[in-house]
Chains A and B, each alone.
Chain A
């Protein structure tokens, strides 16, 4: 059974720091991996999608990498800002039809 783990569960950093969020999965036979952001009381916003043939994706200050053989993905946030404060979720797709299996998330707080 595919399990997705995110470490750390919570993170508090001062503004301006570069940081790394980790996501690991137990079954390397995945199709895609997607990173989401969730603000309190809100829905999920897609940040980055890494398809199975890709190793990384970049969007602005965000960079996500995927290493299927080791079962790991990292989300790198450069020059963090208070507006980055949110919960970050990774999800892997296995078995087709874009059915996603989620990690529990990393709750990030960036303080001025």
Chain B
């Protein structure tokens, strides 16, 4: 039982490049989330998916897109990376009010 897994663990991009962050959970949870963590600002919600086939914007969605591929997988895509998107990205899933987080992806945009 791996919980929530994320790939890659680290990534360096140049401004304008695109990439997709992958997330999967094996707990059969309906809800999944993408957060970003920046120093001094805590974690902020980018997008969430309440169930398979649905996605909604969170607090800071600009510059991102998401896909809920199936119940297990929820991906985050940066179409044209900007230095302001340098951050640590966390995926999470939840059930019955309790959230579980992945180990994070550390992204640097030069």
Say how far B25's CB is from chain A's closest CB, in angstroms. 13
- Interface residue ranges of B6-29 to A (CB < 8 Å): none
* A100 and B98 form a contact (CB under 8 A): no
Pick the contact of A98: B94, B103, B104 (CB < 8 A): B94
* A97 and B101 form a contact (CB under 8 A): no
Contacts A97-B48, A98-B31, A99-B33: A43 and B101 contacting too (C-beta < 8 A)? yes
Q: How many residues of chain B have a CB within 8 Å of chain A?
A: 25
Which of B35-43, B60-68, B69-77, B78-86 binds A? B35-43
- Interface residue ranges of A92-112 to B (CB < 8 Å): 93, 97-105
A21 beta carbon closer than 8 Å to chain B:
no
Pick the contact of B104: A42, A45, A97 (CB < 8 A): A42
Query: What chain A residues lie within 8 Å of B110 (beta carbons)?
Result: none
Contacts A99-B48, A99-B58: A31 and B42 contacting too (C-beta < 8 A)? no
A64 beta carbon closer than 8 Å to chain B:
no
- Size category, A interface: 20 to 34
* B97 and A104 form a contact (CB under 8 A): no
Query: What chain A residues lie within 8 Å of B98 (beta carbons)?
Result: 32, 34, 46, 49, 98
* B100 and A46 form a contact (CB under 8 A): yes
Nearest opposing residue in chain B for A9, CB measure: B40
Query: What chain B residues lie within 8 Å of A102 (beta carbons)?
Result: 35, 42-44
Query: What chain A residues lie within 8 Å of B100 (beta carbons)?
Result: 46
* A103 and B42 form a contact (CB under 8 A): yes
Contacts A43-B104, A99-B33, A104-B42: A49 and B97 contacting too (C-beta < 8 A)? yes
A residues with a Cβ closer than 8 A to B are: 4, 31-32, 34, 36, 42-46, 49, 51, 89, 91, 93, 97-105
